[in-house]
Amino acid sequence: MRLSAGYTKFAVLASSSGRVNVAAARTEGLFLRSLDALGRLEKLDVVISPLRGMVRGVPLGRCRDVLHGLPIGHPLHPALVQVPMGAWISAAVLDVVPGTRRSARILVGVGVLGAVPAALSGWVDWAEQHEDQMRTGLVHATSIAAAIGLYTGSWVHRGRGRTALGKALGFAGLCMAGTGGMLGGHLAYRQAVGANKAAEVRRLLEEGWHPVGRVEDFPVGEAVRRELGEVPLLVFRQPGGRIHVLAERCSHLSGPLSDGKIADGCVECPWHGSVFRLSDGANVRGPATAPQPSFQVNVDSDGNVHVQLPGAGCTT
C-alpha cells in the first residue's frame, strides 16, 4: 500500500510537471512569434518611410560614419547605450538604499543625457536597414523614447521633492528601457542587425589558389561577378591591367557589390551606399563598419587568373 501510494504521488507530480513544461513551451513559442511578428507589421511603413528620409537628410557629414562606428570597426550604438542603462540601473539600486536621494537623481540625469548620443547613433543605423529590421527597430526606439520621457519626469519630480513619484517614474522607465534592450537584442542576434555579413567568407573557402577564369573574361573597367564555391566574388580589371577581387556580398547587409557604382578605385554598395576600396577591401564610408575580404590575385603565363584569400580554411 505504501509503495502504491508513493508511486501514485510520483505519477501525479510527473504529470503536473509535464503540464507545466508544455505550458512554458507554449508561452515561449507565443512570445517568440510575437517578437518575430514585429518585423511583419507593414502598417508601420507609413511612418517609417518619411522618418527614414528625415534621418538620412540630417546634415551630419563625416560624423555620420562616426555614429555608425566606422572608426572602431563595429557599430557604436551598443557601446553608447551602456551609459544610460548603467546609470539608470544604478539609480534603481540607490532608490532602495536610505540616504541616497541626491546620488540617485544625479544618476537619473546622467542616464537621460547619455541617452541622447546613444539614440542618435541608433537612428543613424536604423535608417540603413532592411524593412523588417526597421519595423522592429521602430518599436525598439519607441520603448526607449518612453523610457527617456519617464526618466526625465523622474528627474524633475525628484528635484521638486516628490521623491516617491520620482522613484515610481524611474522604475517604470527602467521597465521600458529593459523592454527596449530586449528588442535591441532581438534586432542584433535574431535579425542580424550590425553583424559583419562577410565574416564567414574565410570559413567557406579552402586555402590555396583557385582559378576564376581567364583575363579576357574580365572586360576592362567592368565589374564581373564570379562564384568560388559558395562565395560570390567581385572581379574588376583596371585600365592598366591590374585585377582586383573582393567578396561580392557587402559586409553591411549583403548587398550585391557587382551591381554597385565603381569610381576612384572604390565600389559603392547599391543598397545603402557603403564604399569599399578595391585594392584592399577597406571600407572608406559607412554604414558598413567591417571591410570586404580582399583576395590576392595571380595571373599565370597562359592568362589564367587565380585568387587566394589569406586565412581561408580557418574554422576555429
Question: How crowded is residue 220: how many other Cβ atoms within 10 Å of its Cβ?
Answer: 11
Judge whether 308 and 298 are in contact, CB under 8 Å. Answer: yes
Q: What is the pLDDT of residue 1?
A: 47
Q: Which residues of 277-315 are buried (b: 16+ CB within 10 A; e: fewer)?
A: bbeebebbbbbbbbbbbbbebeeeeeeebbbebeebeee
- For 173-201, how does the pLDDT look when each residue is reduced to its tens digit (9 = 90+)? 999 999 999 999 999 999 999 999 999 99
Residue 279, C-beta contacts closer than 8 angstroms, at least 6 positions apart = 244, 265, 294
Pairwise CA distance, residues 31 & 120, whole Å: 29
Domain ranges of the chain: 1-38, 42-190, 201-308
pLDDT at residue number 244: 97
Q: How far apart are CA 88 and CA 148, in angstroms?
A: 10
* Cell triple for 194: 550590425
Q: What is the pLDDT of residue 29?
A: 83
Neighbours of 18 (CB within 10 A): 10
pLDDT score for 96: 96
Fold for 201-308, please state it.
Answer: Rieske Iron-sulfur Protein (2.102.10)
pLDDT at 27: 78
Q: What per-residue confidence (pLDDT) applies to 26?
A: 78
| 276/265 Cα distance (integer angstroms) | 9
- Helices 2-38 and 131-159: angle between axes, nearest 10 degrees: 100
Angle of helix 163-185 versus helix 101-126 axis, rounded to 10: 30
Which parts of the chain sit beneath pLDDT 50? 1, 3
Residue found by looking up cell 540607490 in the block = 94
